[in-house]
Structure 1
Amino acid sequence: MSEHVATLGQLLDGAGTQWRAFDIGRHITKLDKKQFLTIEQAQTPYPYPLGGHAWLAIQFWDSKASKEPYVWFLKFPLDEQSKLVSASRDHFANMVIEALGTEITGEQADGKLDNNPYVFTPNANKLAAFNAQLKVLLKQPASQYYEHAQLYFSGKIGFDNWQSVALQGIADFALRLDNDANLSNLQKAWAHLPLEVLQPLSAMLEHVEIPTSLSELLLAYGQAAIENNDTIALTAALRSLSKGQAQGLSTQLVDAALSSSLGNDSDVLLTIAGRCFVQLEDPERLHIFMDNCAQHQEIAELFPSVFADLVAIPTIRPHLLGLLRKENRSETLARAIGRLFS
């Protein structure tokens, strides 16, 4: 491997590894290698920026060894056009070469990058979901907690006995809905799940392209939550639906939420911005959404923080900038936009 490495892909290829890249900022989404190369070369913006950064998981393994794969969780800054700041990536690559040389796998690599400024540890939910997804991709068995989670969701040990269900078990279950009777059991169990299970479960399902039948159930559940003024149930439904195969059903729930009494609720608005952002690629829906953010009274920073978050997403940016010039805006929205530049 040469001393000068232009991209992370070259670094990994030069070390003789097989590798995959994922975005794990919003949803856990596998990045195509060609797409990843254009991102690394700053030819295209990062598709899913969060907080001005690219949040990546790079999974790699020595093609000659059969050991468990390694994972780097990396956070790189993006510029104002959401393109990768190449100097940071170069700095990381140089630190890797300095610390590990060409041997980036094996025992000698363990712990060598712990204090690297670009390395981060995902939160417990994200880590559990990523571990579960990797095991599915690698066709490996689920964790030791999976069978107990299956038992729980089948209703056989009682839905109130959730304390014994491990977070990793919930993640494994959510990522294996096409195994055994998992999907049908979940559909029967959903209405009986306590909050202590519902919230971590929705944090797993937001990474899953759930089938249409489950999306239909979640849409009805979310609509009932709106009628009952239940923010927690609504945000769980929005999160769980957000990556589903039937995006039209997710759109229906977003629209219902935005036109309801919960449409100005900060948790609902932040869930839509963070997880249902695909729905905000529609200029009219984006207008309604930003107007709702402007109407929100309790958190002064809500509107500017949501604006900054969404304007960084390449598919939303032109529509949001278009909203700045739009004439038929409410007075509240016009004032909120004005404050961004004051």
Structure 2
Amino acid sequence: MDKNIATLAQLLDAAGTQWRVYDIGRRIAKIDKTTFTKIENADIPYPFPLQQHAFLAIQFWDPKASKEPYIWFLKLPLDEQSKLIQASRNHFASMVIEALGTQLTGDDQQAGQLDNNPYVFTPNANKRAAFNALMKVELNQPASIYYEHVQLYFSGKLGFDDWQSLALQGLADFVMRLDKDQNEANLITALSDIPEDVIAPLSALLEHVAISTVLAEALLHLGKQAVNNEHTSLTVHYLRAISFAPATGLTAQLIDCILVSPLGQQTDVQLTIAGRCWQHLQQPERLHLYMDLVAQNKTEPTLFAGIFADLVAISTIRPHVLALLRIENRSEQLARAIGGLFK
């Protein structure tokens, strides 16, 4: 690696590019450059660890050119404290320099040499669509050709049963443009009428958006209905859709409603809470109740250990999870599950 280039940030700067970094593991979330520098220097843990890795999207472009931005989707390993393993980062950077030097833009054929890089990964279809839609918004580019058809659908003009013609990219463009036209109002009106075949991909896109309080309230109402009807899949969809709402009290309401219902014992629901709503588990009583239910899961005996490892890796949740090890008034199932962690 070039002695003057010690980090990815320095490499991108040396190439004369403009660049942005996003977490794309748990949800698509921008990481500011100051935080990214601290992550690269291992000064702080990675804030959104997933499976002991940092899943990153790095977008960069030549400010003097009009070409589309380049994107690296990277999966970089983390240590036991969720800090970046710098040797792996250095390995990736050295491979980039070997393939491209510091000329990162301009030669698409050369850039293709990185496709088989061990640190490069391909996000799932939902995240690719959401990230593409978000980039178009941030770069003031037009939406895909599928966007207007989705707008028509949510306006009710096509009939809500005519969902097969909807394209995932069009849905993503719509979700990332809820503040345009009448998109949000139309969505709220349509929510109770659209079939689950639309709600499923819609929720997988909404989980990346800081939705309005009005939309969150509508999702909470429908989520509580799904819980009362013991409809597991719909409950999961509404929970995902509301998970990133700035009105955190509304998301917490839905979680609490779930945890005191029979659905709180369902594996898919438990996984969704850990994977999408981890911030809400900083509340000790809620975390205790949640982990107690996970410990009682009879269909997935290894689930407790997996969720414990997932949550303890997140620096904001770690002290609360570790506090469970010392708590006295715990159920027999929770005590047994905790004991199993040390066998």
TM-score relative to the length of structure 2: 0.98
- Give the counterpart letter for 1:36 in structure 2: F
SS in 1 for 2:30: strand
User: Unaligned stretches of 5+ in structure 2?
Assistant: none
What is the root-mean-square deviation in Å for CA atoms of aligned residues?
1.0
Counterpart mapping for 1:21-60 below 5 A: 21-60=21-60
Task: Give the corresponding residue for 1:170.
Answer: 171
Q: Which residue of 1 aligns with 2:72?
A: 72
Distance in 2 (CA, whole Å) between partners of 1:247 and 1:189 is 23
* C-alpha distance in 2 between matches for 1:88 and 1:304: 27
CA distance in structure 1 between the partners assigned to 2:208 and 2:251 by the alignment: 14
> How many angstroms does 1:35 deviate by?
0.3
Could you tell me how far apart the structure 2 residues matched to 1:223 and 1:253 are?
7
- Which secondary structure does the structure 2 equivalent of 1:192 belong to? coil
Which residue in the other structure is 1:314 paired with? 315
Structure-2 separation of matches of 1:24 and 1:60? 16
1:2: how far off? 4.4
1:102 and 1:227 map into 2 onto residues whose CA distance is: 58
The 5-angstrom pairing of residues 77-156 of structure 1 reads 77-107=77-107, 108-156=109-157
Aligned-partner SS, 1:215:
helix
User: Residue deviations 1:172-199, cap 9 Å, x none?
Assistant: 1011100001001101111111111110
Distance in 2 (CA, whole Å) between partners of 1:165 and 1:184 is: 19
Q: In the alignment, what sits opposite 1:282? A: 283
- How many residue pairs were aligned? 342
Aligned to 2:208: 207
Q: What does residue range 219-230 of structure 1 map to in structure 2 within 5 Å?
A: 219-230=220-231
2:56 partner amino acid: L
Counterpart residue number, 2:238: 237
Distance 2:257 2:20 in 1: 37
Partners of 1:172 and 1:109 lie apart in 2 by 30
Aligned counterparts of 2:240 and 2:68: Cα–Cα separation in 1:
31
What is the deviation of 1:326?
A: 1.0
1:336 alignment partner in structure 2: 337
* Other structure's SS at 2:208 match: coil
> By how many angstroms is 1:4 displaced?
4.5
CA contact (8 A) 1:103 1:109 kept: no
Distance in 2 separating the partners of 1:159 and 1:104: 46
Aligned to 1:16: 16
Aligned pairs for 1:186-201 (under 5 A) are 186-201=187-202
* One-letter code aligned to 1:192: D
Q: Secondary structure at the match of 2:291?
A: helix
Distance 1:202 1:162 in 2: 15
CA distance in 2 between partners of 1:231 and 1:126 (Å): 23
- Tell me how far apart the structure 2 counterparts of residues 139 and 216 of structure 1 sit (CA, whole Å): 29
Letter in 2 for 1:21: V
Determine helix, strand or coil for the equivalent of 1:42. coil
Code of the aligned partner of 2:212: P
- Cα distance in 2 for partners of 1:283, 1:53 equals 26
Distance 1:115 1:5 in 2: 23
Q: Write out the 4+ residue segments of structure 1 that deviate beyond 4 Å after TM superposition.
A: 1-4
SS at match of 1:191: coil
- Distance (Å, rounded) in 2 between the aligned partners of 1:142 and 1:247: 29
Residues 273-297 of structure 1: per-residue CA shift (max 9 Å, x gap): 0001110111221111100100111
Which residues of structure 1 form unaligned runs of 5+?
none
Q: Amino acid of the residue matched to residue 177 of structure 1?
A: L
**Aligned residues of 2:100 and 2:111 also touching (Cα < 8 A):** no
